């Protein structure tokens, strides 16, 4: 769960990162910024802020925002019905993002695995993305990502997004945000 006041603060911080990056948001987009705390009660360490521009039965476009050192927990996009699962391309727009996928583990990763969930981070093949660089993640591929020291903005271009079906390696994760009034 996350308090409404925490959501508002995170939305303001996110809007400021967009401003710094020169990405213009409409007033509706600013108030519609989704704050995903993943039910872990530690938004600064494990969380994600995002705007979904479009998500239909063919494709999806989002902006993903990470505060400095913030991590989106390890997960995969499984098949849903006859759909093989989400294919997504991450394109770094601002800052630096460290993406981890299945494959040969890096000897010394640059990210810091969140201590409270360290047992649930299992893939360590490191891809470092700077502005203008991109990487495509195939369906069913375990992955997680973390912003560098200034934060990061990543454009996601994908097949249809069905976030509610994502499978996280940490059983404590709640993908759909629960906001409580304060």
Interval 15-74: pLDDT, tens: 999 999 999 999 999 999 999 999 999 999 999 999 999 999 999 999 999 999 999 999
CATH number, domain of 175, equals 2.60.120.10
The per-residue pLDDT for range 59-114, each reduced to its tens digit, is 999 999 999 999 999 999 999 999 999 999 999 999 999 999 999 999 999 999 99
With CA atoms as reference, report the closest residue to 124 among 146, 148, 150. 146
The per-residue pLDDT for range 120-134, each reduced to its tens digit, is 999 999 999 999 999
For residue 177, is pLDDT > 80? no
Q: How many beta carbons lie within 10 A of that of residue 149, not counting itself?
A: 9
Structural domain boundaries enclosing 15: 2-180
What pLDDT sits at residue 182?
87
d(CA 110, CA 98): 7
The total number of structural domains in the chain stands at 1
What pLDDT sits at residue 167?
97
User: pLDDT band for position 116 (50/70/90)?
Assistant: very high
DSSP 88-124: EEEEEEEEEEEEEESSSPPSS-SS---GGGGGG----
What pLDDT sits at residue 60?
98
């Amino acid at each position: 769960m996350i308090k409404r006041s925490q959501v508002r603060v995170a939305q303001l911080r996110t809007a400021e990162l967009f401003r710094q990056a020169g990405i213009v948001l409409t007033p509706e987009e600013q108030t519609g910024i989704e704050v995903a705390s993943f039910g872990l009660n530690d938004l600064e360490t494990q969380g994600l802020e995002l705007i979904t521009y479009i998500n239909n039965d063919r494709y999806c476009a989002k902006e993903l925002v990470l505060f400095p050192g913030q991590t989106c927990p390890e997960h995969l996009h499984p098949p849903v019905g006859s759909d093989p699962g989400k294919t997504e391309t991450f394109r770094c727009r601002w800052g630096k993002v460290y993406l981890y996928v299945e494959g040969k583990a890096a000897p010394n990763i640059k990210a810091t695995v969140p201590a409270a969930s360290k047992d649930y981070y299992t893939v360590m093949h490191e891809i470092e993305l700077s502005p203008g660089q991109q990487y495509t993640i195939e369906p069913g591929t375990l992955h997680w990502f973390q912003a560098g020291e200034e934060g990061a903005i990543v454009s996601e271009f994908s097949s249809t997004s069905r976030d509610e079906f994502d499978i996280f390696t940490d059983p404590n994760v709640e993908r759909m945000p629960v906001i409580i009034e304060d």
